[in-house]
Amino acid sequence: MKTIRLFTVMILVLSFTLIMAQTTNQSQVASSGGGTSSGGIYSNFAVVGEPFVAYHTVGGAYQSNDGFIYRLSDATILNLTLYLEGLFNGAGLNKTQNTTGNQFPDLVADKINIELHNPLNYPTIAYSAANVSLSTTGQASINIPESTSGSYYVTVKHRNSLETVSAQPVNFSGGTKAYNFTNSAIQAYGNNLKLLASGIYGIYAGDANADGLINSTDVNLISTSATNFNIGYLTNDLNGDGIVDALDLIVVDNNAANFKMKITP
Ligand SMILES: [Ca+2]
Ligand SMILES: [Ca+2]
């Protein structure tokens, strides 16, 4: 009889321990936004603290615990470093201006578009992010969804700069990826970067009509705008000071004279 009672008590203690363990574990799982659950499978959760380990797995491996299965997100963060010739001030990027002051708040210099292109068929875009903030230190960051794991060329577009592509495809299979367009010309496909200062490279300015060529068409657009004393946050304002004038013309003239054009795979 005593044995049976002791056994019952042990079962109760064990059950309580298991319940507590499950509760404790669940309390340490925090949604990172958009977490979903279905049939006991949780996905896109960030996991904090013990006893879970935040694996970053390729292709979506599963970590099971206490009857639940936690699937950890394979989303990738892409951290780009790049300078735009037009905004470069010797140490970083100027903040673009409009008629009343800064166009963007805080440390945002301007906005860019970032595209991931198929490595075997460049015109095919696998993912794109528009209006990404580019900081005065040349930093831009985007989240690449898990569905876009794999290798892609990284393309940077800006409203009056030359389309520029990474030298090679970048692998996006989870974690954080950094790509730097400022430390060497060979970081861009076709070495298509301009030497801005000793050891510092940037994306060519002056493709005002965004056709992939910096030529007389762009010169004429900017020249006309300067003649009309246009002011504001304008595509023809290459240096972003809020005024279209001779300073912008010098930049586009120089790049047009050197027949600068986009170079893509
Ligand atoms: Ca052009
Ligand atoms: Ca200007």
Ligand number nearest to the C-alpha of 239? 2
Query: Of 43, 73, 103, which residue constitutes the final position of a domain?
Result: 73
Q: What percent of the chain has pLDDT over 90?
A: 66
Which CATH number belongs to the domain containing residue 224 in this structure?
2.60.40.4130
- Pair 62, 132 in one domain: no
Position 76 scores a pLDDT of 86
Same domain, yes or no: 106 and 232: yes
Name the pTM for this structure.
0.75
Q: Which amino acid belongs to residue 11?
A: I
- Is there a single domain that holds both residue 54 and residue 140? no
Residues 6+ positions from 111 with CB-CB distance below 8 Å: 104, 131, 132, 133, 134, 158, 159
Residues 6+ apart with CB under 8 A from 225: 234, 236, 237, 244
How far apart are the CA of 107 and the centre of ligand 2, in A? Answer: 19
Residue 13 lies in a domain: no
**Alpha carbon distance 114, 129 (integer Å):** 5
User: How many angstroms is it from 218 CA to the middle of ligand 1?
Assistant: 5
Q: Does residue 12 sit within a domain?
A: no
**How many domains does the chain divide into?**
2
Average pLDDT over every residue of 201-208: 98
Residue 136 contacts residue 37 (beta carbons within 8 Å):
no
Residue 197 belongs to some domain of the structure:
yes
Whole-number Cα distances in Å, 1 to 11, 45, 78: 15, 48, 66
Same domain, 136 and 208: yes
Indicate if 113 and 219 belong to the same structural domain.
yes
pLDDT tens profile 41-89: 444 454 433 333 333 343 444 444 434 444 556 678 999 999 999 999 9
For residue 129, how far is its CA from the centre of ligand 2 (angstroms)? 27
Residue list, CB under 5 A from ion ligand 1: 207, 209, 211, 213, 218
Ligand (nearest to CA of 212)? 1
* Residue 264 in domain: no
Q: What range defines the domain where residue 52 resides?
A: 25-73
Measured in angstroms, how far is the CA atom of residue 44 from the centroid of ligand 2?
A: 45
The ligand placed nearest to the CA atom of residue 210 is: 1
Domain end marker among 41, 73, 105: 73
